[in-house]
Structure 1
Amino acid sequence: MFKNLLLLTTAAVLFTGCFGDPKEEKWNSFIYPDKNNNKRSLKSPMTFKSLQECQQESEKQLQKLNIVDVGTYKCGLNCSFHEGMKLEVCEKMLAAPIK
């Protein structure tokens, strides 16, 4: 009886984790005016719902700033400012595709 209860509890925990609500994605754009200097970036004040949306808007910003040839961008997933390190920490950071 105890063994069955343990198995049932374990299965319930596993299935709850697999079928729970997915975490909402928030993407931030970081524009680097000089692709050779990754210490200086401009963070977009907007968040984007998808990586594709972040990439499209980042490329528009590069064009708008007229830095397509010298600048680049990265998109960060679920970023937040870390007070102790004084920088943005993201779950995932993806660079612009190489052209």
Structure 2
Amino acid sequence: MIKNLLILGSILLFLNACSNNNQKQQWTSWIYPDKNHIKRSMKNGVYNSLEECKQASINKIEELNISNKATYKCGLNCSFHEGMKTEICQKMTK
């Protein structure tokens, strides 16, 4: 009985992990006009891949002519958190 429960639990964990990998990835571009004050940011769109997000971020920084003082990050699957009144991302990367 216990052996069967362990096998069933393992199968369910495996299937759950596989289904989470199929989740559509959306990358949000965040521009920080002053890399020394990262509390100030601007959202620069949502993209289907990390590479698209990076390129859009770089393009926007160049368009604003702030390449020497700005930076960016891309956030994975960001969503607005009502309690915190801010966007929360699964992962942030440059």
Shorter-chain TM-score: what band?
Answer: 0.7 to 0.9
Q: 2:93 and 2:22 mapped to 1: Cα distance?
A: 20
Deviations 1:11-64 (A, max 9, x none): 4313322433611111000111111111111102x3111111110110000011
Q: TM-score, normalised by structure 2?
A: 0.83
Gaps of 5+ in 2: none
Structure with max Cα Rg: 1
Q: 1:15 to 1:82 in 2, by over 3 A?
A: closer
Q: Which has the higher strand share?
A: 2
CA RMSD of aligned residues (A): 1.8
Q: Does 1:33 align with 2:33?
A: yes
Aligned residue pairs total 93
Task: Report the residue type matching 2:22 in the other structure.
Answer: P
Identity of aligned residues (%): 47
With normalisation by structure 1, the TM-score equals 0.79
Aligned to 2:82: 83
